[in-house]
Amino acid sequence: MADKQQSTHFGYRSVDADEKAGMVRGVFDSVASKYDVMNDLMSLGVHRLWKRFAVELAGVRRGQHVLDLASGTGDLADRFADLVGPEGLVLMTDINAAMLNVGRDRMLDRGHAGNLSYAQVDAEALPFADDSLDLITIAFGLRNVTHKEKALGAMHRALKPGGRVLILEFSKPLNKPLEKIYDLYSFRLLPKIGELVAKDAESYRYLAESIRMHPDQMTLKGMLEEAGFERCDVHNLTGGIVAVHRGFKL
């Protein structure tokens, strides 16, 4: 069994911390080509409403510099590129090259060019100058980060004073009946959908497990505050199945 001091969770399994990033990469290598289709099927399209709310909460303005971590196929980056205009910049990043390539092709198909750039980036070691960004977002990616505290600290460092972080992530349902229904869906139906559509039940079983291992709303809010963020707030969506966390660097 992995050394307790150096172990972390991969779903419900305990693994060596140094191995987790590679294992997560394998999951997303497997699902990249079917990612958008599966998102629509898994959420019945509601993920689009969650992301729209997050974009509105971000308050992005023309000319700003935005870093979108774990950008995937670029749903947030797509909208941010329109909002910052030609004077601004959106950095579309992902630790997974397969996901980033799918997202880059999608953004080019949508006509984005001058104000959108792409990079393979690890959220725990951001290669950006201190006090250089207006907004950092990460949607449905923080739960896959091995050392979340390290990533949150890196985000705080890279933000300008007055900048903000926005985290859109699966969270904990707010009542027991919804939690029971959600568990039934996650562990019985979701892997079957993954097997039928993406030919990969195991990756979607990991998805369900990784959500349950992710910090709940108040724990994550506390982690943001520990990283130095202030005026932190939490916005529960769909009964707490998803939450948006926001914090400011003052």
CA distance 247 to 167: 9
| Per-residue pLDDT reduced to its tens digit, 135-181 | 999 999 999 999 999 999 999 999 999 999 999 999 999 999 999 99
Cβ neighbours for 85, distance < 8 A, ≥ 6 positions apart:
62, 63, 115
What are the structural domains, with CATH classification, of the chain?
Answer: 46-171+218-248 (3.40.50.150)
Strand partners, 69: 138
Per-residue DSSP letter, 187: I
| b (16+ CB within 10 A) / e for 208-246 | bbbbbebbebeebbebbeebebeebebeebbbbbbbbbb
CA distance 125 to 152: 10
CA distance 153 to 171: 21
Reported residue count of the chain is 250
Query: What pLDDT score was predicted for residue 169?
Result: 98
Instruction: Read off the tokens for 57.
Output: 């909460």
Query: What pLDDT score was predicted for residue 38?
Result: 84
Residue reference for tokens 């950095």: 91
CA distance 130 to 146: 22
Residues of the chain under the 70 pLDDT cut: 1-5
Closest CA to 148 of 86, 210, 103: 210
Query: What pLDDT score was predicted for residue 1?
Result: 40
Cβ neighbours for 82, distance < 8 A, ≥ 6 positions apart:
none
CA distance 8 to 210: 12
CA distance 20 to 27: 11
Residue reference for tokens 């390290």: 150
Query: What pLDDT score was predicted for residue 22?
Result: 87
Query: What pLDDT score was predicted for residue 21?
Result: 84
Residue type, 40: D
Say if residue 28 is exposed, middle or buried (CB neighbours under 10 Å; 0-12, 13-18, 19+): buried
Residue 188's H or E segment, with its range, is none
Number of H helices, E strands in the chain: 10, 9
